């Protein structure tokens, strides 16, 4: 653990006075803090090994525009958790395009950067950036930090990218919401696919009979990409394989 002093300030969350310590690197965390914080991770992108690799490899840190600002939240001397945050000096690697905002600031003679971002670098995956006690939600902490920095003016704004949709309703009206769309592929067999099996028997390749196809569907999950393709007609399989081959090239 490094010896440098972390920035400290108080915040109020649900009428409780809490203390915030801001760490500029994972090296500021003790082994006990690491075990507690990352024991709450439910995503591979919020695990200690991933964030450590980003720093150690130089993907984030000095001269990258991504400066770690891990916000540790305490109640008296008890660590409640940590919010994964970064000080940003550009908008690269976020997959949220706010360059128009930066340009508007520039045209009016106002600096848009640095901004404070709650997100995972280079990773547009919805996940919780608050790793800690369930008594606080990601938005509880974010809202309290937003109020603090609104008064200090240390940053032009606080941004929260790709939050869990189940918590999005917790945002107060004062925070601007920007909606986007992602396409997610889940490894589960659609229910209507079972009903479609008998309707396409004449188009199946001879090596894939109806019984075999039905058994694959009953498994509820695809074992691999060929398994997925086997539920389709020969024409569709051929078209997909042709395009996949082009992408590989």
CB 67 within 8 A of CB 61: yes
List average pLDDT for each run of 10 residues in the chain, which is 249 residues long: 64 92 96 97 96 97 96 95 97 90 93 96 94 93 92 91 73 76 76 50 46 57 81 86 60
**Total tally of structural domains belonging to the chain:** 2
Q: Where are the alpha helices (DSSP H) in the chain?
A: 31-38, 48-56, 99-107, 138-152, 191-196, 210-218, 225-229, 234-248
Q: Is residue 180 part of a domain?
A: no
Q: Is residue 177 part of a domain?
A: no
Q: Is residue 146 part of a domain?
A: yes
CA distance 58 to 68: 12
CB 113 within 8 A of CB 72: no
CA distance 119 to 31: 23
Q: Is residue 52 part of a domain?
A: yes
Neighbour tally for 64: CB within 10 Å? 18
Cα distances (Å, whole numbers) of residue 173 to 11, 18, 168, 176, 177: 20, 24, 11, 7, 9
Neighbour tally for 70: CB within 10 Å? 22
Q: Are residues 27 and 136 in the same domain?
A: yes
Q: Are residues 18 and 106 in the same domain?
A: yes
Domain assignment of residue 234, given as a range: 191-248
Q: What pairs with residue 83 in β-bridges?
A: 71, 130
Q: Can you give the pLDDT at residue 248?
A: 46
Here the CATH number for the domain that contains residue 138 is 3.40.630
Three-state DSSP class for residue 240: helix
Q: Where are the alpha helices (DSSP H) in 172-233?
A: 191-196, 210-218, 225-229
Tracing tokens 């409640």 back to the chain, one arrives at 80
Q: Are residues 143 and 238 in the same domain?
A: no
Q: Are residues 166 and 197 in the same domain?
A: no
CA distance 88 to 161: 13
Q: Can you give the pLDDT at residue 206?
A: 44
| Residue that is last in its domain, among 136, 170, 204 | 170
CA distance 124 to 136: 23
Q: Can you give the pLDDT at residue 2?
A: 44
CA distance 139 to 129: 10
Which pair of tokens denotes residue 238? 């051929």
**Whole-prediction pTM value?**
0.76
Q: Can you give the pLDDT at residue 7?
A: 81
Which pair of tokens denotes residue 178? 């920007």
Q: Cβ neighbours of residue 163 under 8 Å, at least 6 residues apart?
A: 126, 128, 129, 138, 139
Q: Can you give the pLDDT at residue 176?
A: 81
CA distance 82 to 106: 33
Q: Is the peptide bond before 114 cis (omega within 30 degrees of 0)?
A: yes
Q: Is residue 178 part of a domain?
A: no
């Amino acid at each position: 653990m490094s010896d440098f002093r972390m920035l400290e300030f108080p915040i109020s969350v649900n009428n409780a006075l809490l203390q915030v310590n801001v760490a500029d690197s994972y090296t500021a965390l003790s082994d006990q803090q690491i075990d507690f914080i990352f024991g709450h991770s439910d995503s591979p992108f919020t695990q200690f090994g991933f964030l450590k690799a980003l720093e150690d490899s130089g993907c984030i840190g000095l001269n990258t525009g991504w400066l770690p600002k891990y916000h540790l939240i305490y109640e008296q001397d008890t660590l409640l958790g940590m919010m994964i945050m970064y000080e940003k000096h550009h908008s690269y690697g976020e997959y949220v395009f706010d360059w128009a905002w930066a340009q508007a600031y520039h045209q009016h003679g106002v600096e848009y950067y640095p901004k404070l971002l709650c997100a995972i670098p280079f990773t547009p995956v919805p996940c919780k950036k608050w790793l800690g006690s369930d008594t606080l939600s990601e938005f509880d902490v974010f809202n309290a930090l937003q109020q603090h920095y609104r008064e200090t003016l240390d940053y032009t704004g606080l941004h929260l990218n790709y939050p869990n949709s189940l918590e999005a309703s917790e945002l107060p009206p004062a925070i601007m919401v920007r909606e986007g769309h992602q396409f997610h592929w889940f490894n589960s067999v659609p229910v209507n696919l079972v009903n479609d099996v008998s309707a396409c028997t004449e188009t199946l390749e001879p090596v894939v009979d109806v019984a075999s196809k039905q058994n694959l569907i009953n498994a509820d999950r695809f074992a691999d990409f060929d398994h997925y393709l086997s539920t389709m007609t020969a024409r569709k399989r051929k078209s997909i394989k042709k395009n996949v081959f082009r992408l590989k090239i």
